[in-house]
Structure 1
Amino acid sequence: MKKLNTFIMALILGLGSFSCVYDFDELNTNPNLVDRISPGTLLNPIIYGVSSFNTSRADAFTFQLMQVALPFPSAAGGVHRYDITEAAGNSTWNTYYRWLINIKEMEASAIENQDPNYEAIALTLRAWVYSLLTDSFGDVPFHEASRAEDGILRAKFDGQEEIYAALLEGLERANSLYDLQRSMIFGEDILFQNNVSKWQKFTNSLHLRLLMRISNREETGALSKMAQIIQQPEQYPVFNSSDDSAILRITGVAPNLSPWGRAIDFTTFRAMSEFFIDNLNELEDPRRSKFSIQARDLDGQTAIGFKGIPSGYISNESAFEFIPSNHNIALVQVPMISLIMTYAEVEFIKAELAQKGVISSNPEAHYQAGVEAAMNHWGIDLPLGYFDNPAASYDGTLERVMLQKYLALYFNDYQQWFEYRRTGYPVLPKQPGMLNNQQVPVRFRYPVDVQIHNRSNYQEAVARMGGDDINTKVWWEK
């Protein structure tokens, strides 16, 4: 009956099917096939399932929207021209709710097994996935989600403010639950290899991310809470080196497979954007060759350096007298990495806080540490003299910090998009070929299935938010 109710809930919320692709999914999406699940049974499938989806969405959506890489050729429309279809967020809604059901099961199992570390990890995973969901849509079902067994078949939408309060409370509780003297006994996890200390650092680093996300809402007290976390490292340990980063190593050994069945699909009909490549060129940044390949003359043989094409370009490949830089296919060939949250992001958070006077440390030191760490997680050493370049040196502005954070968040799910919406940086190009009045969309529309099957709750949420439109700002943006 529980399995049936979960399926009914999936239908009503528009969560999609529960079909399986990999062995992780086969194990995870059928927990009722065994008499009793352990939290460890669910942990790896959740980590892999969400991370691999996020990596594929970084390519399919964030790269285009944030002018990193563009479809080429592309005659009209497309995400890179801010033409966002009504169905653009469907996979995001379906996938995240699918895994949130599993996270809820994991939390229940951890409590049943009286294991505080797994309970803390489940709370952390819940905050990670729900933050991605609510930042993508705004108000979403939270308290009544995944409760078909309680007779709730049409979940109410909760306001984003309330959702964030619950997620932050959960992260605070998670930090208090960790027991560093207690081993994780339910198998080895694929993210931190059962290192409880690293899980706790991830919890508190994620706490900083979410607080920074809502920091423009002064009533939340987010800035003072971030200062507390940073100033009390014994109580709130966070990432303090690249080795701490939450980065999934995708080995290519089943079931830990690349999200790309064929790596060639990553480079087919693609080109790097002029905006992204020109910034790397100005910085003389060694990440250029990690992220992309050189452009070539029309002969297809002669390399002419790193060169992208304009955002919102009009016409097709015949309008250019060169073959533009493309993705580096090695990025999606195993072994590869999937970024969840990095030490670099923590340093950029600290740089911004120090710049605002929220913490007393040196913003330039944090900025430089963030840049170096962002190179390190791609296996690149910071070149000597990198910061001697005026384009790379710390200049005391948020714009400079956010440009480097934008580069550091490359291939990190939707984070470039979320941070652009929070700060307005980096300043993206506006071109005549762009739609939506040349404005970057700020959310997905709710799936049609949700509009139809959960209509009254949908309408209530839309009225509260001010519309179901790609330009309707979520709570923390207003």
Structure 2
Amino acid sequence: MKKLLIPTYLLFAIVLLASCRKELERINKNPNEPTTVQPDYLLSNGIKANVDTYWGPDAAMDGTLLYVQYWSKIQYTDADRYIAGATGTQTVWSNFYAQGIEDFTALAQLGDSLHNPNYKAIAVIMRSWIFQQLTDLYGDIPYKQAGQISQYLTPVYDSQKDVYTGLLAELKQAATSLTAGSNGIGGDILLGGNILRWKQFANGLRLRIALRIADREFATAKAVFDDVAAGGAAALLPKDTVVKLNYLASPNQNPVGRNRETRNDYRISKSIVDKLKALNDPRLPIYATMPKDTNVIIGVTNGLPSDSAARLGFTKTSDAGTVFTATTAPAILFSYAEQQFILAEAAQRNLIAGSAPALYNQAVTASFVQYGIPEASAVTYLTRSGVAYDATNFKKSIGEQKWLALFGQGIEAFTEWRRLDYPQLKAAYAGALGGNIPMRFKYPSSEQSLNGTNYKAAVARQGADLLTTKLWFDKF
């Protein structure tokens, strides 16, 4: 066999070209541009981008806020009639995975390389929060193989049960590994670097998920409540604390406020206005605005045909209040009020020791305080018929008041409404689902085309990819 001989001049040329390339790479480096990702920037951007998605038009304004009848539409009413746009569904899925799971997975890995367990733990908490939103909306989702695109271009879908139980384990580990007083972090625009608050937020999410699965996996849920209770009072949010992102002026404004800069097609739903009026609830003028041409708050029926809705008049119907629509209105992720509702139900169901009525009263009072209403007003309110705690139908008491307290938190309220079946809402007037209200979001079309095998396996296990398919957690 003949050996291939490379001329000396050709070898010299190859070496020279390689040297030139290295030199060009060296001299073309920008000395002012970092070559590695900064964890504080990654954390800030991750929080902002994903809270925007949670609070924004596709997940909330044209989706869950309409489904759970907080808002309604007075123009372009297709979304309010359950005719979901393909773009919105795709945007929620893509944003949460690409701007959320990917980024926080990278931050967790960066925390390891920097030997800073606090960055890793916070990344895991935020990633877990995003996974919770995704499974609450869609059901079975890519979880164990998600965020690892170099290994898994077509990730397998995990069952909702496995997602929830996996998140419980991840959140417990994250809460345990957080250490105050060392391993400082930057870029925390959510909780200002308060490690104790991050631990309490993680525990709050654990309790939220434990209650999600309690109808299916009572023993697992009970173990979570027992474990959090063992941490004492400091394991949970203190009175009247709210985990929220405080928005700023443009371009860092609230996405609801940004939306209102160019359009005016949303109104407060007649369903929640009627409930607040029936209870003589002092939150009504906070949740809704007074129309320009009337002296009474008027909500709009969900799902009207566009021509019927438009005839109601922009100046004669009420928009949502400025606490939700203002440029700097905060986005709430978790609150002391929600925590106390969780504990009240847990006490009623023997998941914890405690007085369900007392915890329920604390929850309602906390919701009042959250919106600047004095505690004294809640004392009177809690004695009224339709408000006072009814242990014989705790789902109604907790379901209706939790629905009122979570106003604006579309995904969470939508999920709790499905789980508790209260309040008892009527489907959209001209809804496209035969008198039914959506039970989930449909998977985006990209999953059918790009991850078809795993998509089909999920649908075969979970049920048809329809808005009306109930999810695993929704047992009753």
Matches within 5 A, 1:391-402: 391-396=386-391, 397-402=394-399
Decide which moves more: 424-433 or 111-120. 424-433
Structure 2: which amino acid aligns with 1:284?
N
Q: Give CA deviations for 1:326-364 in whole Å, capped at 9, x if unaligned.
A: 222453323321011111111000111112232221111
Query: What's the counterpart of residue 316 of structure 1?
Result: 308
- The answer to whether the Cα contact below 8 Å between 2:428 and 2:437 also exists between their aligned partners in 1 is no
Equivalents in 2 of 1:457, 1:36: separation in Å? Answer: 34
Task: Verify: 1:301 aligned to 2:293, yes or no.
Answer: yes
Equivalents in 1 of 2:42, 2:75: separation in Å? Answer: 42
- How many residues are treated as equivalent by the alignment? 434
SS state at 2:237 partner = coil
Task: Verify: 1:419 aligned to 2:421, yes or no.
Answer: no
Q: Which runs of 5+ in 2 are unaligned?
A: 1-32
Query: What's the counterpart of residue 371 of structure 2?
Result: 378
Decide which moves more: 39-48 or 119-128. 39-48
Query: What's the counterpart of residue 210 of structure 2?
Result: 211
Equivalents in 1 of 2:370, 2:464: separation in Å? Answer: 40
Q: Give CA deviations for 1:293-350 in whole Å, capped at 9, x if unaligned.
A: 124xxxx5341x2222333445614765992222224533233210111111110001
Q: Give CA deviations for 1:97-132 in whole Å, capped at 9, x if unaligned.
A: 011100000000011111122221111111100111
Candidates 368, 380, 404, aligned match of 2:361: 368
Equivalents in 2 of 1:255, 1:82: separation in Å? Answer: 31
Equivalents in 2 of 1:221, 1:40: separation in Å? Answer: 39
Matches within 5 A, 1:223-238: 223-234=221-232, 237-238=235-236
Task: Verify: 1:197 aligned to 2:196, yes or no.
Answer: yes
Query: What's the counterpart of residue 277 of structure 1?
Result: 273
Mark the structure with the bigger radius of gyration: 2
- The answer to whether the Cα contact below 8 Å between 1:311 and 1:431 also exists between their aligned partners in 2 is yes
Normalising to structure 2: TM-score of the pair? Answer: 0.85
- The answer to whether the Cα contact below 8 Å between 1:229 and 1:236 also exists between their aligned partners in 2 is no
Q: Give CA deviations for 1:379-432 in whole Å, capped at 9, x if unaligned.
A: 333425222322322222221111111111111240111111112111102465
Q: Which runs of 5+ in 1 are unaligned?
A: 1-32
SS state at 1:373 partner = helix
- The answer to whether the Cα contact below 8 Å between 2:442 and 2:466 also exists between their aligned partners in 1 is yes
Structure 2: which amino acid aligns with 1:392?
V
Matches within 5 A, 1:32-51: 34-51=34-51
SS state at 1:388 partner = coil
Equivalents in 2 of 1:368, 1:191: separation in Å? Answer: 28
Equivalents in 1 of 2:127, 2:349: separation in Å? Answer: 30
Equivalents in 2 of 1:375, 1:201: separation in Å? Answer: 22
Q: CA RMSD in A?
A: 2.4
Structure 2: which amino acid aligns with 1:203?
A
Query: What's the counterpart of residue 104 of structure 2?
Result: 103
Equivalents in 1 of 2:176, 2:262: separation in Å? Answer: 42
Please report how far the alpha carbon of residue 225 of structure 1 lies from its aligned counterpart in structure 2 after TM superposition. Answer: 2.2
When residues 223 and 169 of structure 1 are mapped into structure 2, their CA distance, relative to the original with a 3 A threshold, is: closer
When residues 317 and 38 of structure 1 are mapped into structure 2, their CA distance, relative to the original with a 3 A threshold, is: closer
Equivalents in 1 of 2:303, 2:324: separation in Å? Answer: 25
Identity %: 26
Q: Give CA deviations for 1:426-463 in whole Å, capped at 9, x if unaligned.
A: 11024652331222211222111111111112112211
When residues 301 and 85 of structure 1 are mapped into structure 2, their CA distance, relative to the original with a 3 A threshold, is: closer
Equivalents in 1 of 2:437, 2:48: separation in Å? Answer: 30
Equivalents in 1 of 2:141, 2:294: separation in Å? Answer: 51
- The answer to whether the Cα contact below 8 Å between 1:215 and 1:223 also exists between their aligned partners in 2 is yes
Equivalents in 2 of 1:136, 1:446: separation in Å? Answer: 9
When residues 266 and 360 of structure 1 are mapped into structure 2, their CA distance, relative to the original with a 3 A threshold, is: farther
Structure 1: which amino acid aligns with 2:382?
F
- The answer to whether the Cα contact below 8 Å between 1:266 and 1:327 also exists between their aligned partners in 2 is no
Please report how far the alpha carbon of residue 78 of structure 1 lies from its aligned counterpart in structure 2 after TM superposition. Answer: 2.3
When residues 293 and 148 of structure 1 are mapped into structure 2, their CA distance, relative to the original with a 3 A threshold, is: closer
When residues 42 and 379 of structure 1 are mapped into structure 2, their CA distance, relative to the original with a 3 A threshold, is: farther
When residues 197 and 284 of structure 1 are mapped into structure 2, their CA distance, relative to the original with a 3 A threshold, is: same
When residues 317 and 377 of structure 1 are mapped into structure 2, their CA distance, relative to the original with a 3 A threshold, is: same
